[in-house]
Amino acid sequence: MASLLVLFVFFFISSCSAQSYNVLSFGAKPDGKTDATKAFMAVWETACASSRPVTIVVPKGRFLLRSLNFDGSKCKPKPVTFRIDGSLVAPADYRVIGNEDYWIFFQHLDGVTVYGGVFDAQGTSLWDCKKSGKNCPSGATTIGFQSSSNVVVSGLTSLNSQMFHVVINGCNNVKLQGVKVLAAGDSPNTDGIHVQSSSTVSIFNTKISTGDDCVSIGPGTNGLWIENVACGPGHGISIGSLGKDSVEEGVQNVTVKTVTFTGTDNGVRIKSWARPSSGFARDIRFQHCVMNNVGNPILIDQNYCPRNENCPRQVSGIKISDVLFVDIHGTSATEVGVKLDCSPKKPCTGIRLEDVKLTYRNKPAASACVHAGGIEAGFLQPNCL
Ligand SMILES: *[C@@H]1O[C@H](CO)[C@@H](O)[C@H](O)[C@H]1NC(C)=O
C-alpha cells in the first residue's frame, strides 16, 4: 500500500513539476567570448516541444548572445520560467544587433517568468555613433514582450541598452518587480520601461537611471499601476507622446504612486502632439511623489511639435480628463513647477491638484495653466487652476 502511494506521489510530482534545462548542457559557454546564441535556441526548441512546465536555467557567468526570439506561437502551451543567475552580453560591435527591433524578444507566450539576469547590451558605442551625427543603426530594444499574457519579470537588471531597455507591447497581465535599469544620463532614446497596447500591468520596486523617460506610457494602455520607483537621471514618468496618429487608442486607468525623481528633466508628465487625434488620457492618478531638483515637476504639454515639423498651427485632439495630482512636493529646477498647457480644442477637464508644495531656489515655484479646468484642495504652492 505504502509503495503504491509513493509511486502515485512520484508520478504526481513528476508530471506537475517543471522540467528543467540548463543552457550549459546545450553547449553554451559562460566565458563571455563564445557565441551562445545557437545553444540558447537549441534549449528553446527543446523546451518548446515539451508539454510540461519548463524552467530554463542560465547559471552564473557571462553568455555572449546575438538577438534571440523566444516565440511561443508554435510551442505546446505551458508556463515557461527563465532562471538567470548570470549575465547576457550583446556583441561589442553594435552593428550585430543594431538593426534588430529587439535583442531578447519574447512573443506569443501565455505564462512566462524571467527571474534575475543582468542584460548587458553594451550600447555605449552606438550612443557615441549617434552623438557624432554619423549614419548609425537605430538600435535594438534590450528586452521585449509582445502579444503575451501572464508575464512576470523579477529582479532583472538592464545595462546600457542601445535603444529602449524594456518594452511591453500588446500584453495582458504583466508584473515587473525589482527591476533595475542603468544607462548614462545623456544616452539617446534609452527609455527604461515602455508600455503600450497592454492591460493590467504593474511595475513595483524599481530603480531607473537612464537618458530618456524612466517609464513611458503609449497609446492603448489600460490599467497600469506604478509604485515605489526611484527615477533619475532621466526624463521622468511620461504618458505619451500621444496623438502622433490621427486614429489612436486612448490611455486609461493609470496610477503612479510613491515615486522619487532626482535630477530628472520632468517629473510626472502627459505629453501629446499638437495634431488632430482620436486618442485620450483619462483616470490618471499621480500620488505621493518627491521631486529633487526636477526640471518640470508637474507637466501637461499638449503642444509637442519637435522642430516644428508636421504640426505648425495645429492643436491637439487628445482629450485629457480626470487627472489627479496629490501629495507632490520637493524642489523644481526651473521657475515654473506646475505647467498645464492643454489643448484649446479639447481643454483638460476634471483636473485635481491637492497638497502640492514645490519650491524653486528656496522660494515658491510659479505655475502656468491654460485650457485646464478642475478643482484644487488642501495646501497648494503654487496654485494654478
Ligand atoms: C484599474 O487598473 C487596476 C490595475 O492597475 C485594476 O486593478 C483596476 O481594476 C482597474 N480599474 C478599472 C475601473 O478598470
Instruction: Please write the tens of the pLDDT for every residue from 363-383.
Output: 999 999 999 999 999 999 999
Ligand 1 centroid distance, CA of 258 (Å):
18
**Residues forming beta bridges with residue 96, ordered by sequence position:** none
What's the average model confidence in pLDDT over 136-165?
Answer: 98
- Taking 70 as the threshold, does the pLDDT of residue 231 lie above it? yes
In whole angstroms, what is the distance from residue 340 CA to residue 301 CA?
7
Which residue, chain included where needed, has cell 540548463? Answer: 22
In whole angstroms, what is the distance from residue 128 CA to residue 92 CA?
13
Ligand 1 centroid distance, CA of 17 (Å):
32
What pLDDT shows up at residue 10? Answer: 52
Residue 217 grid coordinates: 506610457
Is residue 82 within 8 A of residue 113, CB to CB? The reply is: yes
- Taking 70 as the threshold, does the pLDDT of residue 326 lie above it? yes
What pLDDT shows up at residue 40? Answer: 98
Burial 318-338 (b: 16+ CB within 10 A, else e): bbbbbbbbbbbbbbbbeebbb
Residue 209: band (very low, low, confident or very high) from pLDDT cuts 50, 70, 90: very high
Task: Look at the chain and count its residues.
Answer: 385
Ligand 1 centroid distance, CA of 250 (Å):
15
Is residue 216 within 8 A of residue 190, CB to CB? The reply is: no
In three-state secondary structure terms, 64 is strand
Ligand 1 centroid distance, CA of 66 (Å):
38
The atom of ligand 1 lying closest to the CA of 224 is 5
Is residue 163 within 8 A of residue 139, CB to CB? The reply is: yes
Q: What is the dihedral of CA 102, 103, 104, 110, to 10 degrees?
A: 10
Label residue 138 left, alpha or beta by phi (over 0 means left) and psi (-120 to 50 means alpha): alpha
Query: What secondary structure letter does DSSP report for 49?
Result: H
Q: Do the strands 199-209 and 348-360 form a parallel or antiparallel pair, or are they unpaired?
A: unpaired
What pLDDT shows up at residue 111? Answer: 97
Exposed / middle / buried, residue 53 (Cβ in 10 Å: 0-12, 13-18, 19+) = middle
Q: Is the CB of 69 under 6 A from ligand 1?
A: no
What pLDDT shows up at residue 8? Answer: 54
What's the average model confidence in pLDDT over 271-293?
Answer: 98
Residue 17: band (very low, low, confident or very high) from pLDDT cuts 50, 70, 90: confident
Residue closest by Cα to atom 13 of ligand 1: 253
Residue 133: band (very low, low, confident or very high) from pLDDT cuts 50, 70, 90: confident
In whole angstroms, what is the distance from residue 138 CA to residue 160 CA?
14
- Taking 80 as the threshold, does the pLDDT of residue 16 lie above it? no
Residue closest by Cα to atom 3 of ligand 1: 223
Q: Is the CB of 225 under 6 A from ligand 1?
A: yes
Out of 11-25, 75-89, 205-219, pick the least confident: 11-25
For the chain, give the percent of residues with pLDDT over 70: 96
What pLDDT shows up at residue 4? Answer: 55
Residue 143: band (very low, low, confident or very high) from pLDDT cuts 50, 70, 90: very high
> In this predicted model, what pLDDT tens digit does every residue of 340-349 receive, in sequence order?
999 999 999 9
The atom of ligand 1 lying closest to the CA of 255 is 5
Q: Is the CB of 37 under 6 A from ligand 1?
A: no
Residue 3: band (very low, low, confident or very high) from pLDDT cuts 50, 70, 90: low
Ligand 1 centroid distance, CA of 200 (Å):
7
CA distances from 121 to 162, 173, 180, 191, 234 (A): 7, 26, 14, 14, 18
Averaged pLDDT score across all residues of the chain: 95
Residue closest by Cα to atom 10 of ligand 1: 223
The atom of ligand 1 lying closest to the CA of 223 is 2
Q: Is the CB of 222 under 6 A from ligand 1?
A: no
> In this predicted model, what pLDDT tens digit does every residue of 157-208 receive, in sequence order?
999 999 999 999 999 999 999 999 999 999 999 999 999 999 999 999 999 9
The answer to whether the Cα torsion of 62, 68, 72, 75 is positive or negative is: negative
Residue 53 grid coordinates: 512546465
Q: Is the CB of 204 under 6 A from ligand 1?
A: no
Q: Is the CB of 253 under 6 A from ligand 1?
A: yes
Pick from 298, 305, 303: which is nearest to 323 by CA?
298
Residue closest by Cα to atom 4 of ligand 1: 223
Which residue, chain included where needed, has cell 506604478? Answer: 226
For the chain, give the percent of residues with pLDDT over 90: 92
Q: Is the CB of 283 under 6 A from ligand 1?
A: no
Q: Which residues contact 381 (CB under 8 A, 6 or more apart)?
A: 356, 357, 358, 359, 364, 365
The atom of ligand 1 lying closest to the CA of 225 is 5
What pLDDT shows up at residue 211? Answer: 98
Does the active-site annotation cover 235? yes
What pLDDT shows up at residue 9? Answer: 52
* pTM for the model: 0.95
Domains of the chain in start order, with CATH, are 68-212 (2.160.20.10), 216-385 (2.160.20.10)
- Taking 70 as the threshold, does the pLDDT of residue 14 lie above it? no
Is residue 121 within 8 A of residue 87, CB to CB? The reply is: no
What pLDDT shows up at residue 310? Answer: 87
Ligand 1 centroid distance, CA of 221 (Å):
11
- Taking 90 as the threshold, does the pLDDT of residue 11 lie above it? no
User: Which residue in the list 165, 194, 235, 371 is annotated as catalytic?
Assistant: 235
